[in-house]
Amino acid sequence: MKLPIAFLLLALFAVMGLTTTPLKQIIVSYPNDTPTSVLDEAKDAIRKAGGIIEHEFSLIRGFVAKVSSKAIDEVKALGSKNNVLVEEDQTVHINSS
């Protein structure tokens, strides 16, 4: 009797894993005069959407997060009055090779 229940749980977890939206790693930055409450609001929106704050910067007003596409749109909308810059985190090379 335990084997069918375990199989059902395994199948359920597999389906849940297939239906989750992929997360993108982004960098979110704001001008230096942006209030802390604006950053906190954006981070809360990311967490509520199932995203993860990976790193918070200390020299600039910003952070790195893994988020869904829906959360990216929400962060852009929340920060539109504060000139938010949202860009996909990617590797940068100094030469073409």
Question: Domain holding 38: CATH number?
Answer: 3.30.70.80
Q: Is residue 60 part of a domain?
A: yes
Closest CA to 67 of 80, 81, 86, 85: 86
Q: Is residue 15 part of a domain?
A: no
Q: Is residue 33 part of a domain?
A: yes
pLDDT-derived band at 27, boundaries 50, 70, 90 = very high
Q: Is residue 41 part of a domain?
A: yes
Residue 33 sits in which domain range? Answer: 21-88
Q: How far apart are CA 85 and CA 73, in angstroms?
A: 12
Rg (CA), the chain: 18
Q: Is residue 28 part of a domain?
A: yes
Reported pTM: 0.72
Q: Is residue 57 part of a domain?
A: yes
Total domain count for the chain? 1
pLDDT-derived band at 20, boundaries 50, 70, 90 = low
pLDDT-derived band at 97, boundaries 50, 70, 90 = low
Chain segment 37-77, per-residue pLDDT in tens: 999 999 999 999 889 999 999 999 999 999 988 888 889 99
Percent above pLDDT 90 for the chain: 52
Give the rounded distance of the alpha carbon of 1 from its chain centre.
41
Average pLDDT over residues 84-93: 88
Q: Is residue 9 part of a domain?
A: no
